[in-house]
Amino acid sequence: MDALARKLGLKTDPIIFFTSAGIMILFLVVLLIAPEPIGAAFGAGREWIVTNLGWFFILGVTSWVAFLLWVAISRFGAIRLGGNDAKPAYGNISWFTMLFAGGIGTVLMFWGVAEPISHFATPPRAGVDPFSVEAADDAMSFSIYHLGLHTWAIFAMPGLAFAYFIYRYKLPMRFSSVFYPLIGDRIYGPLGKSLDIFAILGTLFGVGVSVGLGTQQINAGLTELFGVPDAVITKVIIITVLTAVAVGSIVAGLDSGVKRLSNINIAMAVGLMIFVLFTGSTVFLFRAVVETFGLYITNLLPMAFWNDTLASYSSEGGTWGWQGSWTVFYWAWTVTWSPFIGIFVARISRGRTIREFVFGVLFAPSIFTLVWFAIFGWSAMEIDGIGSEAREAMGSQAGILSDAVGESIPLAMFTFFESFPGATLVQGLAVVIVAIFFATSSDSASLVVDMLCTGSEDPGPWHQRVFWGVSEGMLAAMLIVLAGDAGLTALQEVITVVGLPMFILVFIMMFALYRGLSHEEFSEVKVGSPPKPEELTQDS
């Protein structure tokens, strides 16, 4: 493998690189040959997981939030991720836009209207009437719970572990490095390489599915704007364009490519949000933003431990309830992204203290997410009709968005914009924002996968980085062409099942991080003097 890597001009660990690429291709071939049986098998696995281990996911993510906050306010919060004199490489604004665009910017565009409307029409809790004021409050609370502190804790937990062990102890930039306190030098052997390969595959398939799903939303927007057919060839062209943009950003690198694209994209998204705020029911939305903060704070603790325990006693029956298909699915899928987002966030956070890292990564995107959902979600529910009297007065216009979500989730946001001035122009801008969000996710993931293979933050040869970007695009395109919706559905089921071992690994990261932090030496002269790496395993 070494000889082949040199012949191809690669600068990477050949075992990790070729094994990851080979498994990806083999799995894709098998998936394309028999997508429905694989989907059925993994679908059964997913149902077993959410039925029997849903409580584990709920408790687990909540424990990560608590652990991260404790670390930040403890004496460990003063430890700098890097040398004691290290300085942040990026300013606060660029840092925020990069971690946000590489994180869940795509999710906000996809679910900003659709999720609140979904919960509004089908309330999560028993006894709440659809389309009522209570349903609207619950819809907003659960939407932000899904995409607020808890989602960012899934990214921040591995991100902090990566940043700590990679920059504090000069270990390779690999997924396996965070387990050094537990397995020692075995991170350089078969066990460590297996962990790295698993992380790479999770990233590739997670991003591949997201690009495929994002393509559906872009296609829906183009259909609404220009009557472009909702067809396979259209989706392939969209993926090709997205991949080309991502590859251009990959070649430019993190500073010139990803940073610039992220800044542009977040500025456009903020502009879109401000447009909705000031052309919609402005006073109502200002009140709603303030009230939404209260809803989130009031309901956060109950939601963080709610397990839908009495679902089997409801009139609809069942054993795993609403939360199995929403919250548990969210956590299982999100955690497959955690190696990618974690290393990416670690890479752009070098030089910051643990306290800055935790508060920045947890709260800055969560606050933006809350404001985004408050503006888009409440606007959408107002347009759809809140309460029986309002819906009766609206006549045939009542339920326009809930009907759209029921028909096609990707189409929801574009239907939403039909209620605003300059609808066509705004819909076109939304298509561009969605496209760039997915491109930034793809280029960020490609750079991270390359780092996982090389074990270094220094970029590998451009063709090596481009390989991963093209692979993600081809993965999404081949699924759409050869397997259609069945292939994407099957892969979503696979990712959910893969999420369980990844979830367990992130749990183990928490203990590894605590072990590393507990070896820090504190004094009045120097805060957080790190031990030598071998000292971390001395009492293993």
The encoded tokens of residue 240 equal 């090709």
**Do 472 and 211 meet the contact criterion of CB atoms below 8 Å apart?**
yes
SS3 category, 521: strand
3-state secondary structure of 301: helix
Quote the pLDDT of residue 257: 55
Per-residue pLDDT, 470: 87
Q: What does the pLDDT look like over 435-465, one tens digit per residue?
A: 887 777 777 788 888 888 888 877 678 788 8
387 occurs within a structural domain: yes
Q: Does residue 426 register a pLDDT over 80?
A: yes
Vertex 505 angle, CA 188 and 358, to 5°: 100
Q: How far apart are CA 479 and CA 423, in angstroms?
A: 32
Asked if residue 537 belongs to a domain, the reply is no
State pTM to two decimals: 0.89
Neighbours of 464 (CB within 10 A): 20
Task: Count CB-CB contacts under 10 A for residue 197.
Answer: 23
Q: Per-residue pLDDT tens for 90-133?
A: 888 878 877 766 556 677 888 899 999 999 999 988 788 999 99
Measured at the alpha carbon of residue 56, what is the angle toward residues 53 and 59, in degrees to the nearest 5?
Answer: 150
Q: What is the CATH number of the domain that holds 166?
A: 1.20.1740
For residue 530, being part of any structural domain is answered with no
**pLDDT value for 63:** 97
- The reply to whether 336 falls in a domain is yes
pLDDT at 492: 66
Number of domains in the chain: 1
Residue 353 lies in a domain: yes
Show contacts of 72-78: CB within 8 Å, 24+ apart.
Answer: 72/354, 72/355, 72/358, 72/359, 73/355, 75/522, 75/527, 76/354, 76/517, 76/520, 76/528, 77/353, 77/354, 77/355, 77/358, 78/353, 78/354, 78/355, 78/527, 78/528
Mean pLDDT, rounded, for 152-157: 95
Which of 212, 194, 191 is CA-nearest to residue 23? 194
Query: What's the pLDDT at 379?
Result: 97
Give domain status of residue 196, yes or no: yes
Q: How confident is the model at residue 527 (pLDDT cuts 50, 70, 90)?
A: low
- 3-class state of residue 462 by DSSP: helix
Task: Please say whether the beta carbons of 518 and 536 come within 8 A.
Answer: no
Q: What percent of the chain has pLDDT over 70?
A: 87
Q: Which domain holds residue 116?
A: 2-522
Residue 533 lies in a domain: no
Phi, psi at residue 80, to the nearest 5°?
Answer: -95, 135
Q: State how far the Cα of 31 lies from the Cα of 528, in Å rounded to an integer.
A: 49
Whether residue 415 lies inside any domain: the answer is: yes
What are the pLDDT digits (tens) for 212-250?
A: 777 888 888 898 888 888 888 898 899 898 888 888 877
- What is the per-residue pLDDT across 54-87, written as a single tens digit (0 to 9) for each? 899 999 999 999 999 999 999 999 999 987 788 8
Alpha helices in 349-410 (DSSP H): 354-384, 388-394, 400-407
Q: What confidence score (pLDDT) does residue 285 get?
A: 97
Q: What is the pLDDT of residue 193?
A: 94
Whole-number Å distance between alpha carbons of 146 and 263: 25
